[in-house]
Structure 1
Amino acid sequence: MGQIKELQTSLANKIAAGEVVERPGSVVKELLENALDAQATEITIEVEQSGISSIRVVDNGTGIEADDVDLVFHRHATSKLDTDDDLFHIRTLGFRGEALASISSVAKVQLITCTDGLEGLEVYAENGRILERKPAKAKRGTDITVKSLFYNTPARLKYVKSLYTELGKITDIVNRMAMSHPDVRISLYSDGKEILSTNGSGRTNEVMAEIYGMKVAKDLVPIEGDTSDYHLEGFVAKPEHSRSNKHYISIFINGRYIKNFVLNKAILEGYHTLMMIGRYPICYLNIQMDPILVDVNVHPTKLEVRLSKEEQLYSLIVEKIREAFKDRILIPQNDMSKFEKKNKVLHQFEQQKMDFERQQQTSHEDKDSDSTSHDRAEVEDAPTDTDSNNVAAEHRDVSAYQTPSDETESQVSEPSSTDDYAQAQREVLADLENSEDHTTLENSEEDTNNIKGTVSKTPSRRVPYVEVVGQVHGTYIIAQNENGMFMIDQHAAQERIKYEYFRDKIGEVTNEVQDLLIPLTFHFSKDDVMIIEQYKDELEKVGVHLEPFGGHDYIVNSYPVWFPQQEAEEIIKDMIEYVLEHQKVDVNKIREEAAIMMSCKKSIKANHYLKNSEMADLIDQLREAEDPFTCPHGRPIIVNFSNYELERLFKRIV
């Protein structure tokens, strides 16, 4: 008898669920996509215990026909595909027909649906099968409740993370869906507490204000552009709102949230030297294109897609982001409220920690005096799950759920020890550093607008006219105007000036070379040699002539005249490594790196004192720069302290 047999339906559904339903957030994503495909204009999501206990999604969409209800819990049952050709023209978020089948195989599902607002249908499903079906009174739309997630797959439940982490994942999914569908009113509640509520106005920047706060929303810059195949629109935040990870980059193709390395790279290239290495922007991009140019059927969760004409889209993104910041003032304004908030949280954490340790000490003393009474007191005095999280919960706003960190994930549990308080403290402080105040800065808004309005006596310059006051530690120039105080990093300022000078000069030179008295020797592996031989002619076109020197060695007898003499060997190594990694030669990139290196080495260093006239001359040169707000490495050059912030600092304003 043969050993191959067809899997049972319940087992096949569980295997499919392993791909589609990874965590509670996966359930929310699938149900939310179904609601949007059903043309809902209002969607409410309610979760209990971060979705482990219950997930409920209610929409006012088209509903499900009574004849179709029997098939909604079957695998590969969908209303969105009929022929093979439809797979290459997908305009809906869902199409695989596995969502409800996978969910019902690992949870208990109740579905109430109605198509006409008169006669509805209520269905109970479990383990992939409908157990009960009966008429019900219902509004037009669909109401799905998913309970006891992973009740029959304990191994999957074991790997569910902490409640904060799982809620963060859910919030992240809902946030992105809300951004891509601003015309839909979306509300999210966790254990009865509202986390997100959008107004469905159709304006994406209002949704981003709800998610990221008003301060970020005020600094969003709109972008829009077209090619023959793509239409691009979105918002990019000013560089001062950068983050430490890519979590805040949101890219959508035809309304579908995707992750794409090449497009992320295009966004960073668009910011160019405005963003520090290791920092990432807040960014929303929505790309409209013919569905035939994108393949969304390459990943079970549909997060990864394949694009046609990717280079064309890359260039469009880079061009439009650079245009967005070309004529804008990008001087960051110092905000003292963030530090005051952080100190307040630290103080309250310390107070809570002291109270907890005092409680523990009392408990130990009771144990020494009377072990029997201690057992009773331990139950009464030990902090409950709710109490131990009160401090963290009181200071966590919506943004705390928007930045889940896998590095701090743990099993589903709550802090109940000193170490846990320390961990919670670190999490909240990290949230404070990454999040922005969700209220408008009413008192400082007028000063901010004044700064943005005062460019200089020459309209083409983006650095305001300022008067030099002095210097701090031979490093920072202090200047002022009617709108406040400015601090200027003298090294970063001259680095930007020289970078733009060297960049232009290097771009003008030809591929003239100068000979070396002693050749440079390079050794490579056999695999590297094969790639180098393939691109050897390309390297020669940019002035790098590699001559075989036996085995896997090469020598270089000359290099282009635009190479800095001291760094020539290092630049040649970088060029060859770039070829090995990307399998192409990008001379513009290499020349740019050379310009950055030369500008850094030839600029004023810290602890170098300047005369007032020299400082004024440096600022005048900076005002002529193309991008005078960051050095080539992305560090800020100018920081502004508004009059309002100065008065707050000295308690003239409380």
Structure 2
Amino acid sequence: EMGHINHIVSKIAMSHPHIAFKLTHNGSEIINVQQTDSLLERVSAFLGQEMAKDILPIQLLTDWLEITGFLLPPSHTRPNREMQSLFVNNRYIVNKTISHAIYAGYHTMLPGGRYPIVVMFLKIDPLVVDVNVHPTKSEVRFHQEKEIHQLVVKAVRETFLNANLSPDMSVPAEGDREKRIREAINGYFGSTIYPEAGNWQSFSSPYSPLEKGDGGLLPPPEGDKRQDVGAGLAPVLLPLCQIYNTYIIVKGDDGVCIIDQHAAHERVVYERLMAQDRGILSQLSLLPISLELDYQETATMLESIPLLNELGFKIDEFGQNTFIIYGVPVGMTKNDPKETVLGILHDIQNTGKAKTSSELREDMIISMSCKTAIKAGQPLFAAEMSSLVQQLMETQQPHTCPHGRPTMIKLGMEELEKRFLRK
């Protein structure tokens, strides 16, 4: 019972910062928050200092709906929705539509089985809210659920697009010491081993920085408007080293960043493929590949052939439970087409529910990104690492792969100095 009381008082206190609240149990103080004019201050009191420092404000205004509140980046999650607080007209509510919309707003940024931490307030005409769903009046329905769902998704996604969630990789100017080191190295070897800013080779392949010689796995989409990082940025993002042929260590302006090369490349490939408005170019195989499937795989394949062809594969039915792969996406020469297609089919089967064509297309792209991205354990040259890091920092969501795993971890100077007892 005390748990339920604590839960209810917490929600009421969170939405009424202008009122002081105190809750005690058997002489112990459970809640004690002072009156404040700041909603952020009140919410932070319940989230705790560690999470409060990463809090992001959310706001979306229309002529009939106002969405405000706070959310936490994907680095803060929970195994359930207990840390999601939803309020309609300042009243705590439960609503599956809003909960689903919040989760959809975090799409491709959350690991499986994890849920975001959100405090959201909706201000809406009470006439469009049905409170007679549950005896406690906590669960509600809306008369415009589809529109509200779309607006909540939009509000969450725009919050992340407007927020700088990436590690601080600002560009310090090259000092005299760095310049002397570069000139000494170049002079010793008699060539430009350590180039100046702007002279780093740029790999334009959106699919893999390793396959420039093959023309890349995928040509850049027409009218690609991704922001150019700029000539002066590449040397600063030049990795210090690669460890275990899996992680790239990059020096930033205020610490170091450890990047998972596979997760990072997954994000790069995913966003490039999702940006393709037209079908992805194919190249014909010299020898068609026969693919024999079981009955369940065959049913999935028959439903998926149109979308697989759109993604650059060329597949035809060839007898009972047999298919021929005679084309693959341009540049995908280093991956086994049979294994890639089978992997995509199995991923689709494992989703366990019917999906729209756009959702199915995205599932295929996520699977394809994973199957074709740089693998853990794969050694990279310095220029390849530099290219991958640069491409990652140009993506819209560089901090997670499409499955929601983190692509990078930052160790700031303050943290390093604490570890070495310098502070």
Q: CA deviation at 1:455?
A: 6.8
Shift of 1:567: 5.4
Task: Provide Cα deviations, 1:525-576, integer angstroms capped at 9, x if missing partner.
Answer: xxxx9xx9xxx9x9999699xxxxxxxxx989899x8997655567568768
Measured after TM superposition, the shift of residue 326 of structure 1 is 0.8
Tell me which of 84, 92, 108 is aligned to 1:257.
92
1:502 counterpart letter in structure 2: L
Q: Deviations over 1:513-535 (max 9, x none)?
A: x99988967569xxxx9xx9xxx
1:264 deviates by 1.3
Q: Alpha carbons of 1:192 and 1:293: their partners in 2 closer, same or farther (altered >3 Å)?
A: same
Letter aligned with residue 377 of structure 2? N
Residues 522/257 of structure 1: CA separation in 2 closer, same or farther (3 Å cut):
farther
Deviation at 1:189, TM superposition (A): 2.1
Counterpart residue number, 2:69? 234
**Helix, strand or coil at the partner of 2:69:** strand
When residues 569 and 641 of structure 1 are mapped into structure 2, their CA distance, relative to the original with a 3 A threshold, is: closer
1:560-605, CA deviations, whole angstroms, 9 ceiling, x for partnerless residues? x899765556756876897x845xx511211111111111111222
1:468 aligns with 2:239: yes
Moved more, 262-271 or 228-237: 228-237
Structure 2 partner of 1:313:
148
Cα distance in 2 between the residues matched to 1:475 and 1:282: 30
Alignment of 1:253-652 (within 5 A): 253-331=88-166, 451=168, 454=170, 465-505=236-276, 507-509=277-279, 522=295, 566=339, 568=341, 581=353, 585-652=355-422
Structure 1 Cα separation of the partners of residues 308 and 385 of structure 2 = 39
Provide, for residues 330-361 of structure 1, a one-character-per-residue CA deviation record: whole Å limited to 9, x for no partner.
247xxxxxxxxxxxxxxxxxxxxxxxxxxxxx
Could you tell me the TM-score, scaled by structure 2's length?
Answer: 0.70
Give the residue type in structure 2 aligned to 1:609: P
Distance change >3 Å, CA 229–CA 614, structure 1 → 2: same
Q: CA deviation at 1:273?
A: 1.7
Residue 324 of structure 1 and its aligned partner are, at CA, apart by 0.7
Q: d(CA) in 1 for partners of 2:117 and 2:240?
A: 35
Name the residue aligned to 1:409. Answer: none
Contact 2:307 2:361 in 1 (8 A): no
Cα distance change on mapping 1:481 and 1:290 into 2, 3 Å:
closer
CA distances 1:444-480 after superposition (whole Å, capped 9, x unpaired): xxxxxxx48x378999769994342112211111121
1: CA distance, partners of 2:17 / 2:388? 46
Q: Which residue of 1 aligns with 2:57?
A: 222
By relative contact order (CA 8 Å, sep 6+), the higher-ranking structure is 2
1:194 offset after TM fit, Å?
2.9
Any conservation in 1 of the 2:94–2:138 contact (CA below 8 Å)?
Answer: yes
Shift of 1:309: 1.3
SS at match of 1:247: coil
Identity across matched positions, percent: 35
Deviation, structure 1 residue 222: 1.2
| Closer, same or farther: CA 520–601 of 1 in aligned 2, 3 Å | closer
Report if the CA contact (8 A) 1:220-1:235 is conserved.
yes
**CA gap 1:570/1:295 in 2 versus in 1, 3 angstroms:** farther
Contact 1:236 1:282 in 2 (8 A): yes
- Shift in Å, 1:485: 1.4
Q: CA RMSD in A?
A: 3.8
From 10, 15, 19, the counterpart of 1:184:
19
Alignment of 1:62-77 (within 5 A): none
Separation (CA, whole Å) in 2 of partners of 1:255 and 1:177: 9
How far apart are the structure 1 equivalents of 2:366 and 2:159? 23
> Is the partner of 2:363 in helix, strand or coil?
helix
Larger helix share, 1 or 2: 1
Question: Is the contact between residue 78 and residue 117 of structure 2 (CA under 8 Å) also seen in structure 1?
Answer: yes
Aligned to 1:355: none
The CA distance in 1 between the partners of 2:125 and 2:404, in whole Å, is 36
Question: Unaligned 5+ residue runs, structure 1?
Answer: 1-23, 25-165, 333-450, 545-553
Instruction: Quote how far apart the aligned CAs of 1:228 are.
Output: 4.5
Deviations 1:396-433 (A, max 9, x none): xxxxxxxxxxxxxxxxxxxxxxxxxxxxxxxxxxxxxx
Is the 1:495–1:599 contact (alpha carbons within 8 Å) kept by the matching residues of 2? yes
Contact between 2:291 and 2:324, CA under 8 Å: does it hold in 1? Answer: no
Distance between the aligned counterparts of 2:82 and 2:61, measured in 1?
Answer: 26
TM-score scaled by length of structure 1: 0.46
Quote the Cα distance in structure 1 between the aligned partners of 2:171 and 2:101: 30
Show CA shifts across 1:226-248 (max 9, x none): 34542211111122122222111
**Shift in alpha-carbon separation, 1:456–1:502, aligned structure 2, 3 A:** farther
2:273 alignment partner AA: F
TM-superposition CA deviations, 1:304-342 (whole Å, max 9, x none): 22221111111111111111111322247xxxxxxxxxx
Alignment CA distance shift 1:312-1:652 (3 Å): same
Deviates more, 1:255-264 or 1:319-328: 255-264
Check 1:518–1:191 CA distance in 2 against 1; reply closer, same or farther (3 A cut).
closer
C-alpha contact (below 8 Å) 2:291/2:322 kept by paired residues: no
Deviation, structure 1 residue 489: 0.9
- For the structure 1 residues 179 and 460, does the alpha-carbon distance in structure 2 shift closer, same or farther, using more than 3 Å as the test? farther
- Secondary structure of the residue that 2:51 maps to in structure 1? helix
Aligned-residue offset at 1:488 = 1.0
Task: Give the counterpart letter for 2:134 in structure 1.
Answer: H
| Aligned amino acid, residue 152 of structure 2 | I
Distance 1:456 1:619, change over 3 A: farther
CA contact 1:227–1:316 (8 Å) conserved in 2: no
Q: Determine helix, strand or coil for the equivalent of 2:12.
A: helix
Q: Which amino acid in structure 1 is aligned with residue 137 of structure 2?
A: K
Segments of structure 2 that go 5 or more residues without pairing to the other structure are: 174-225, 310-319, 330-336
Q: Please give the secondary structure, in 1, of the residue aligned with 2:43.
A: helix
Residue 251 of structure 1 deviates from its aligned partner by 0.9
Match of 2:220 in 1: none
CA distance in 2, matches of 1:516, 1:615: 33
Q: Is the 2:249–2:258 contact (alpha carbons within 8 Å) kept by the matching residues of 1?
A: yes
Q: 1:483 to 1:188 in 2, by over 3 A?
A: same
Which amino acid in the other structure matches residue 610 of structure 1?
A: L
Contact 1:196 1:211 in 2 (8 A): no
1:142 is aligned to none
